[in-house]
Structure 1
Amino acid sequence: MKFLMTICAVSLAGTLAGCAGVSADVQASGGFPTAGTAGTPDAAVPASTYRFARTPAQADAGDNLPYEALLREGLAQRGFRQDASDATRYLVSAAWASRPADVTVATGDCKGGCIPAEGPSLPWFGHRYVHTLTLRFFMLPDGRETYKVSAEKRDRNADAQQALPYLVASALAKMPYAGAPQWRVKMKDVAPAGAQGGAQAVPEVTSVTPLAQ
């Protein structure tokens, strides 16, 4: 019994130690044309204007899309200004989703049956969830997609909104993520929304590292 309790104590200590920081994985493609070029994506992000493009379901939500305020602030810090006029430079679409980690999202036919994305989670630590945020930038007036970035965070919190600040911070951390297709973003953990009577703070990014292919 004492041996079993020791194992549990070590496992719990390792789990709590992992709570000190948070990480997310990012995939990106494309870039932003430099002013004066013929539309060739460049590593630099030029100051520009944008407006959000909403799906019909997002439009029905009115102003209750929690990620838009976070994105608006993050994009403003990178030189982007929201503009609803016809002269705006980009349309920006956002897709936000959460699912249990043991549910596979298939992009094609599942021949022989679809298998879980990862093994079953240990019940005493709670179920694992996958939270994702994908941003796509379409250049106007032709509507060509010029840049796409997706951030993914895995945790044991079923509340998808608690993951949003981490997803936004990681998606924008090294925009436009030139030089590698996949990255690991590490951030400092922050208090949950409402824990101190206010909205959840945007986490501080501590490192951005390309992942080996």
Structure 2
Amino acid sequence: MQILLEQATCEIEVKKSRFIAIACPLSDLSHIKEVVNQTRSQHPGANHVVHAAVLGPKGDLYSYSDDHEPKNTAGRPALEVLKGSGVTNILVLVVRYFGGTLLGTGGLVKAYADSVKEVLKIIKTEALIDKTSFHISMPYHLYEPIKKQLIEAQAVIDSEEFAVEVTLTGTLSSSSFASCASTIYDLSNGSCTLNPIDG
């Protein structure tokens, strides 16, 4: 699965109706209402703000709304495109400004699905990697070699605390945690351990 890195927006026009698709990173389904309300306030003249969202490591949590479009002509087709995209932790809003011509159910389904397809073409994503948080304490003389080892393992160091010893906290891909921990243990002659943080 891929996850969305940053917000992206694009617009299509169908028979004078404007469809503005906005893709946003999403960490929790409970945030959707707030984002929808913000978007409504930014587009006070819009007729509909439809949403579709996919969430979770397996992309198996969903949310969608037709926002007063005929049932299953807006949110559902938008969601189906999202589900097929391999992207998770994503919310796509489609803002519709009615252009005066009714599109019919088939036309609506196509317009909302196409809006999502277009925004998916321009989004930036990265692979969803299972990460493990860690902390490690070490004497000052081991700080440089251990930090170098962590950086080589592509760890992200969130904080460094210099007290009696140096303590680092950060995250590391779960798949490389064991080998990195083993290397650090050997490097320090068994005096330093890379400790996972639960939760």
Name the TM-score, length of structure 2 as normaliser: 0.28
Larger radius of gyration: 2
Is the helix fraction higher in 1 or 2? 2
